[in-house]
Amino acid sequence: MSSILIKGGRVIDPANKIDKTANVFTLNGKIKSVGAQSPKADKVIDAKGLIVAPGLIDMHVHLREPGKEEEETIASGSAAAVNGGFTSVACMPNTEPAVDSEASAEFVYLQAKRTGKANIYPIGAITKGRKGVELSEMGQLVRGGAVTIISHCEDKDLVPDGVMNDGFISAVLGLRGMPNVAEEVMVYRDIALCELTGGKLHIAHITTRGAVELVRQAKKKGINVTAEVTPHHLLLTDESVKTSSFDPNYKMNPPLRTKQDIEALAKGLKDGTIDAIASDHAPHSPEEKDVEFNIAPFGIIGMETLLPLVLTELVNKKVITLAQAIAKLTVNPARILGLDKGTLTVGADADITLIDLSKEWVINPDEFKSKSRNCPFRDWKVKGKAVKVIVGGQVVN
Amino acid sequence: MANNNTVKWSRKHLLGLEDLSAQEITTILDTADGFKEVSTRTVKKVPALQGKVVVNMFIEPSTRTKTSFSLAAKRLSADIVDFSASTSALTKGESLKDTARNIEAMGVDIVVIRHTTPGAPHLLSRTINASIINAGDGAHEHPTQGLLDIFTIREMKGRIKGLKVALLGDITHSRVARSNIWGLTNLGAEVYVVGPSTLIPTQLKQLGVKISYNLDEIIPQMDVINILRIQMERQKAGLFPSIREYARLFGINAERLKKAKKDILIMHPGPVNRGIEITPEVADGARSVILKQVTNGLAVRMAVLYLVAGVSADK
């Protein structure tokens, strides 16, 4: 079998509270040692000047296979993941057909295996065909590889035909609004249900100041609730819809909110109310996305921009520390998903991401591994990039 | 009424009044003043746009605006072609961008577009090289309607600055309201929006607009009331209780008009729901300038076609 020695990097492993220069040695797909020792290895990687982190985990992506392979496949999504520094991703079940059975979860799992890049974890649909009528066979689903159930909080009755945040900008543009409360009433409902049942709740892509406060209070009460946020909700506001003259690359669900919401999200990220950062990677073909704003689908791609944006806009601007950022991209999502990953603990899977904090570059979606190009961050200048990605002891990118 | 503020026109497109400076708006109005005279001649035609091709691309039905643009183009001696399609036909098959590219490939200089989606004209302006004129995009803007309303007010009152203008009715769904707000506030009018609270986005306050839910309270101070069409389906959607109640609270009738200034202007962009937002006696009465608006619309659209054509010819 094979071994790798990653020499002289700054090892940051939040789960073990490690932040020091050390060598990481992997053997047969597992972490064998982290420290000063320098065992003989088949392959030696000089990590001087680089961050050595547990493999990053994107807990919210859409890979479109099966059903819309022209937008993304498990293979292209997997390549995009490792190109963005992710060793594991959890993909959502809104495919055609939906991932709602052992067989469909098994399909995703096997396709990922064939690709041999990132680990892919299918998230199961709660109901058969995502119709909200009959429960999926969850026991079977978990055996097939699906791992958890997550809530997209949106009261559909409060956002009829909504295409952007409800506020001043929507009023000026004459576009239908989606108010903050549509998210907040559902966050409140789900928290209340979670408290009632004693279950486990994860709020996907939280976006409003009210929702952040609800999660903060719920956590204080000891309710088992966690939350994730996306880079675009942290960095962009609904004003982008106007300044871009209705570019559908600023149309997402939940919608881009306001400056006050961004400030609350940043605060929640800092104080731990928000546990994880995820991309909500949502590929769409140009013929589908580059159309009139009302009929364009929601969502943008994000796996290949998440890390540089977090480093440039959050870490370098001192919104959160580097260790916090890595925790929210490794051990925290792993715990939420129930995965034994996200650490460099001896014996753990050898999933490792090497990051160059000093690399300056300009985002150009045309160079992405993803099949889609719907990205609002084109031409953004960023600093920081994943330069080497190891999955299960194999260098994959 | 030529104004010294007239500037050289440099915009290839007319997408909305929000983008325009006060000087640019004045330039259009002054140009329209000149064209108004053409309609009074026996030969109602000037050769200004001879050899130019204008396409009326109406993805949402319209009678008045489309006819007005057609006549305006014809009076400028341009060739005008109508292209109509329902949105559904486009979404099922060819995209808006492809349709526009195809039309452009036939050698078109100006595309006049009406569409149900805000921003559709902006999408076209990014896609093709022709000049784009927004003839109404969803609830966003209807710049030529805003311009003809402002033109009519200026013609009747001799100024815009300092006038109190009420926009009455369904503001939420009205592109006419938005274009009026941008243009009028820019030229120094005091704009009021009046109607049921369910049909007024309160955020418009940030544009310096005053909001009122009580027509009788504000009517004595107004110099102009621009009445917006109330759409019956809004009542069915639960936005106001009944047509009867709406007419009683927000309808303009002779009784209500007694409280207004003697020289108030009553405007309506049409089509009019007689007996609902306005009674026939007022619509056809002495204070009504509804048909003047239609006449002026022609001159304003001639001005807009003429100005944008001049820019695309330069480039």
User: A113-163: per-residue pLDDT in tens?
Assistant: 888 899 999 888 888 888 888 888 776 666 544 445 688 888 888 888 999
The answer to whether position A274 is within a domain reads yes
Residue of higher predicted confidence among A249 and A286: A249
Number of domains in chain A: 1
Q: Full-prediction pTM beyond 0.80?
A: yes
ipTM, two decimals: 0.91
The answer to whether position A16 is within a domain reads no
Q: Give the residue among A374, A378, A396, A379 at the shortest CA–CA distance from A387.
A: A396
pLDDT recorded at residue B90: 58
Q: Among B26, B27, B31, B65, which one carries the catalytic annotation?
A: B65
Mean pLDDT of all residues belonging to chain A: 94
Mark yes or no for CB contact A168/B122 under 8 Å.
no
Residue with tokens 């946020």: A229
The answer to whether position A366 is within a domain reads no
Q: How far, in Å, CA of B309 to CA of B177, rounded? A: 27
In a mutagenesis test of the B interface, which of A292, A293, A294, A295 is the best target, namely the one with the most B β-carbons within 10 Å? Answer: A292
In a mutagenesis test of the A interface, which of B91, B117, B206 is the best target, namely the one with the most A β-carbons within 10 Å? Answer: B117
Q: Give the residue among B107, B155, B140, B139 at the shortest CA–CA distance from B289.
A: B155
Mark yes or no for CB contact B126/A245 under 8 Å.
yes
pLDDT recorded at residue A393: 95
State what percent of residues in chain A have pLDDT above 70: 97
- pLDDT value at A88 more than 70: yes
Q: How many angstroms away from the CA of B144 is the closest CA of chain A?
A: 17
| Residue A64 belongs to domain with CATH number | 3.20.20.140
Q: Which domains does chain B have, with CATH numbers?
A: 22-141+295-314 (3.40.50.1370), 143-293 (3.40.50.1370)
- A214-244: pLDDT as tens digits: 999 999 999 999 999 999 999 999 999 999 9
Burial tier of A362 (Cβ tally within 10 Å: 0-12, 13-18, 19+): exposed
What string of pLDDT tens digits covers the 315 residues of chain B?
Answer: 444 556 789 999 999 999 999 999 999 999 999 999 888 888 888 999 999 999 999 988 888 999 999 999 999 999 999 887 665 455 567 788 888 888 889 899 999 999 999 999 999 999 999 999 999 999 999 999 999 999 999 999 999 999 999 999 999 999 999 999 999 999 999 999 999 999 999 999 999 999 999 999 999 999 999 999 988 777 778 888 888 999 999 999 999 999 999 999 999 998 899 999 999 999 999 999 999 999 999 999 999 999 999 876 544
Pairing of strands A51-54, A352-362: antiparallel
Q: How far, in Å, CA of A305 to CA of A234, rounded? A: 13
The answer to whether position A4 is within a domain reads no
pLDDT recorded at residue B79: 96
B65 is catalytic: yes
Q: How many angstroms away from the CA of B63 is the closest CA of chain A?
A: 22
B99 is catalytic: no
- A268-295: pLDDT as tens digits: 999 999 999 999 999 999 989 999 999 9
The answer to whether position A2 is within a domain reads no
Mark yes or no for CB contact A245/B116 under 8 Å.
no
- B13-51: pLDDT as tens digits: 999 999 999 999 999 999 999 999 888 888 888 999 999
The answer to whether position A211 is within a domain reads yes
Q: How many angstroms away from the CA of A185 is the closest CA of chain B?
A: 21
Q: B-chain residues within 8 Å CB-CB of A173?
A: 118-119, 140
Pairing of strands A30-35, A18-27: antiparallel
pLDDT recorded at residue B315: 45
The dihedrals phi and psi of A351, each to the nearest 5 degrees, come to -105, 115
Structure tokens at A351: 């999933």
Which structural domain range is residue A324 located in? 56-342
